A and B are shown apart, each in its own frame.
Chain A
Amino acid sequence: QSALTQPASVSGSPGQSITISCTGTSSDIGAYNSVSWYQQHPGKAPKLMIYDVANRPSGVSNRFSGSKSGNTASLTISGLQAEDEADYFCSSYTNMNTAIFGGGTRLTVL
């Protein structure tokens, strides 16, 4: 199974919105509504930000939202803040009862 495809980097200014894409196949993203997104700051463990495509865990800001169309999922962060600068990883359930991650996207807040 190949990793999900994410852009290596995105950037935005404070207050702006950015979107990170995550492309898979009909065996993972396209087949299940089991896409999740994680935020990782340097030296820290990943933190769950979005699950089941568009749901936010308790305590996660509503500035974070998720969606999916076909084999591609997206994470949108609105009202960018300096603390949002981090690496973001998508993940999906697969038809082999496994999970797969994207390569990660580094978000820079200008």
Chain B
Amino acid sequence: QVQLQESGPGLVKPSETLSLTCAVSGYSISSGPYWGWIRQSPGKGLEWIGSVSPSGTADYNPSLKSRVTMSVDTSKNHFSLTLNSVTAADTAVYYCARRTSGSYSDYWGQGILVTVSS
């Protein structure tokens, strides 16, 4: 059974960097095919942030591309998200998920609420 679990700070100050990690269990992250992040602002819809392959090749949402970096650590079986220069608009529940080659996400973490506030 593939399981994903997000971790990271729940509060980030404006202009600082948001960093989250997703630990994968029950499955080798090296098997991919892709590992992704999706966020959901309070009371709003889902927004695809991007995804990364086990080799480190990443695709990002064009609207966030300049601020986002994703990486994979196969030795720890986890992958990470970094979002720079955050504002209140980045306040959201952040989900990690496995993305298939068909571009759907079949396994999701439970989500982590990140609030951007001073």
Contact = CB atoms under 8 A, between A and B. Distances in A.
Interface of A: 1, 3, 32, 34, 36, 38, 45-48, 51-52, 57, 89, 91-93, 96-104
Contact of B104 (A45, A51, A98): A51
A34 B104 contact: yes
B109 A45 contact: yes
Nearest to B36: A99
Contacts of A32: 103
Contact of A52 (B38, B95, B104, B110): B104
Q: What bracket does the count of chain B residues touching chain A fall in? A: 20 to 34
A42 B38 CA distance: 17
B103 A101 contact: no
B95 A51 contact: no
A102 B44 CA distance: 11
Contacts of A100: 48
Contacts of B50: 98
Contacts of A103: 45
A65 B38 CA distance: 24
A49 B18 CA distance: 30
Contacts of B61: 1, 98
Contacts of B95: 45-46
Contacts of B102: 34, 36, 51-52, 93
A39 to B, nearest CB: 12
Contacts of A98: 48, 50, 59-62
